[in-house]
Amino acid sequence: MKVKANFGVNANHEWSLRFAGPIRPYSYAMADEIAEVVWDGFDSLPDRLKSVVREVFAEDENRLYERGVDLELDLDFVTSDLGLSVVRIGETLEPVAVNIEDLEQGVWNGFVDRWGNPIEEDHPESPLVKLDMV
């Protein structure tokens, strides 16, 4: 399972990773899906994205500025390198992979349902239950 994204330079001249598709990053701490992650400079990019920049610049430097590069990101990259959880967007937010910080935050403060109401870790809508961790 992969997370689809487009990587390039946005209108503010920042490196931008924009997510699309039914599998998207999510922050349980903010109780919201993440549409975009931005970085100010090349040095702040995760290594995986630095290598994409090097590869694309070798072929077509303007591509990152004009239309970006479509990527399929591993769940591990999203949870570890970006520090986000991953959910399937739909009627309910079905967890696919939970980042350790979100997991600790959720267990400590209590998870929230799709309406922002607090729920216990053993509640049917808890990502721990949905991922068979409780």
Tell me the pLDDT tens digit for each residue of 16-63.
Answer: 999 988 888 988 777 788 899 999 999 999 999 999 999 998 888 788
Residue 132 lies in a domain: no
Residue 29 lies in a domain: yes
Say whether pLDDT at 110 is over 90: no
Spatial contact of 69 and 52, defined as CB atoms under 8 Å apart: yes
Range of the domain at 46: 2-98
The separation between CA 74 and the C-alpha centre of its own chain, rounded to angstroms, equals: 10
Residue 57 lies in a domain: yes
Q: What is the number of domains present in the chain?
A: 1
Say whether pLDDT at 114 is over 70: no
Q: What confidence tens digit (pLDDT) does each residue in 78-102 have?
A: 998 988 888 887 767 777 887 877 7
The more confident residue out of 116 and 49 is 49
The pair of three-digit structure tokens given for residue 53, joined into one six-digit string: 């920049």
